[in-house]
């Protein structure tokens, strides 16, 4: 069976994208947390999956499901978190690149995305898409 899982409340989906790059002999990394207005995912399960729909601690999506499709709508904010070793100027340059052309601009400058984690926070809504 195919199931759809969504958040009950808006602004409850967060992606954390981690990027790494060697710069002047230093290994630097940073993450961008994107907050999404709304969204849902679909997954397959042989039976009704056990989920705590109250979801008080957050649900790490890709660690829990083999996701068929993840749809997020209207990003409404992002936060940068830099590892030690970044100068203020380098942090500013990274943020400027992202503001200009998002992830594509970072990749053009040699930043490699090394991980993506997605969390659903707050109450969840589960529905069956197939009978």
Kindly report, residue by residue over 67-119, the tens digit of the pLDDT.
Answer: 999 988 877 788 999 998 899 999 999 999 999 988 899 999 999 999 999 99
pLDDT at site 131 = 63
Question: Residue 13: exposed, middle, or buried by beta-carbon count in 10 A (0-12, 13-18, 19+)?
Answer: buried
Strand partners for 35: 14, 77
DSSP annotation of 130 reads -
Average pLDDT, the chain: 91
Q: Nearest to residue 94, comparing CAs of 27, 30, 24, 5?
A: 30
The two tokens of residue 61 are 């999506």
Does residue 39 carry a pLDDT above 80?
yes
| Torsion from C-alpha of 35, 39, 40, 41, nearest 10 degrees | -60
* pTM of this structure: 0.81
């Amino acid at each position: 069976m195919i199931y759809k899982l969504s958040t009950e409340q808006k602004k409850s989906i967060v992606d954390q994208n981690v990027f790494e790059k060697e710069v002047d002999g230093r290994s630097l990394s940073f993450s961008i947390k994107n907050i999404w207005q709304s969204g849902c995912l679909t997954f397959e399960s042989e039976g009704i999956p056990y989920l705590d729909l109250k979801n008080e601690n957050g649900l790490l999506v890709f660690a829990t499901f083999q996701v068929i499709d993840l749809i997020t709508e209207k990003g409404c904010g992002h936060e940068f978190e830099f590892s030690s070793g970044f100068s203020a100027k380098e942090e500013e340059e990274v943020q400027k690149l992202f503001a200009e052309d998002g992830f594509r601009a970072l990749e053009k400058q040699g930043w490699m995305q090394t991980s993506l984690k997605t969390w659903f926070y707050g109450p969840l809504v589960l529905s069956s898409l197939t009978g």
